[in-house]
Amino acid sequence: MDNRPIGVFDSGLGGLTAVRELMRLLPGEDIVYFGDTGRVPYGNRSRETLEKYARQDCRFLLGKNVKRIIAACGTVSSVAPHVLKALPVRATGVVELAAEAAARITRNKRIGVIGTQATIHSGSFERHIRDRLPDAAVFPQACPLFVPLVENGWIGRDDEVALLTARRYLMPLKAAGVDTLILGCTHFPLLAPLIGDVMGDGVALIDSGREAAESCERELRRDGALNQTKKAGELHFYISDRPQDFTKVASMFLGREITGEVHTLDIEQVDRPEAGTVRG
Ligand code: DGL
């Protein structure tokens, strides 16, 4: 038994789609979430910057005495997996598990991957898919405009702008005949119904955050590291800036009202001795 919380981070609020899955699977676990809302988006940053951000985000969560870390960010998981591997606690990204699921599920070995520019440019999903299925044909597509669409709540199946954008990005993947599509960015599950409409019934959508949450559950059970105090788990929420409409957008990602206090911190200060100091 291990009653310490699970730490989850993302560039912003997209990682809450993974938290939603964690809360469903492990309702007794405490979760510390850090959303780097002051520095979002990560998806078009350089490798050096992403490595620094990933280190700082993890350092903050380690300061909260977490037992596991989930990098619920396709971009960090793709560009800075070595930062996660070097941590003193087990840390999971969202790439390997989603690639594994895709390799397992595909029937025609034609797999699409959508994510941020940095994720797609890194080739991370392709590499992990080919490790498991060497003869797979992988079709990567960066979909940067999906991120602001989701953040503005333009996610309805009948939203004309979202539909046009999705058609433009996804038509080449549909034409390529993929039967499996990895949602390689934690923002994208909110667009899943619309993406499903564009891709058609025969295409399986893989939610990379959900795969990571399910794997975390399996590992905690296997290791006997669940929180067994039988109470309802708490969500401790930290962000690096309070954006407009924060509560509305965060609740949309989490799939429920945000209750409890949301702390704002200066993540650049995490390297200093007073690491993790909360501003407000
Ligand atoms: N949630 C981030 C990811 O999974 C995307 C948003 C961003 O560009 O920061 O890659």
12-16, 58-62, 242-246: range with highest mean pLDDT: 58-62
208-222 pLDDT per residue, tens: 999 999 999 999 999
Position 207 scores a pLDDT of 96
DSSP for residue 4: S
Q: How far apart are CA 216 and CA 26, in angstroms?
A: 9
CA of 14 to the centre of ligand 1 (A): 7
DSSP for residue 50: H
| Mean pLDDT, range 76-83, rounded to an integer | 97
Give the binding-site residues of ligand 1, using a 6 Å CB cut-off.
10-12, 14, 40-43, 73-75, 116, 119, 147, 185-187
150-200 pLDDT per residue, tens: 988 899 999 999 999 999 999 999 999 999 999 999 999 999 999 999 999
CA of 20 to the centre of ligand 1 (A): 17
Q: Closest ligand 1 atom to the C-alpha of 72?
A: 4
pLDDT over 60 at 275, yes or no:
no
| Mean pLDDT, range 28-55, rounded to an integer | 95
Closest by CA to 253, choosing from 5, 30, 28, 37, is 37
Q: Are the CB atoms for 238 and 60 separated by under 8 Å?
A: yes
Q: How far apart are CA 226 and CA 165, in angstroms?
A: 42
- The residues near 264 (Cβ < 8 Å, ≥ 6 apart) are 238, 239, 240, 241, 242, 278, 279, 280
Known catalytic residue at 73: yes
pLDDT over 90 at 247, yes or no:
no
CA-closest residue to ligand 1 atom 7: 41
CA-closest residue to ligand 1 atom 8: 43
Q: How far apart are CA 171 and CA 73, in angstroms?
A: 25
DSSP for residue 278: B
**Residue 151 in tokens:** 């953040």
| Mean pLDDT, range 88-104, rounded to an integer | 97
Q: Closest ligand 1 atom to the C-alpha of 185?
A: 4
Q: Closest ligand 1 atom to the C-alpha of 75?
A: 10
28 to each of 57, 90, 104, 197, how far by Cα in Å?
Answer: 24, 20, 30, 35
Please give the model's pTM, rounded to 2 decimal places: 0.93
Band (pLDDT 50/70/90 cuts) for residue 276 is very low
pLDDT over 50 at 280, yes or no:
no
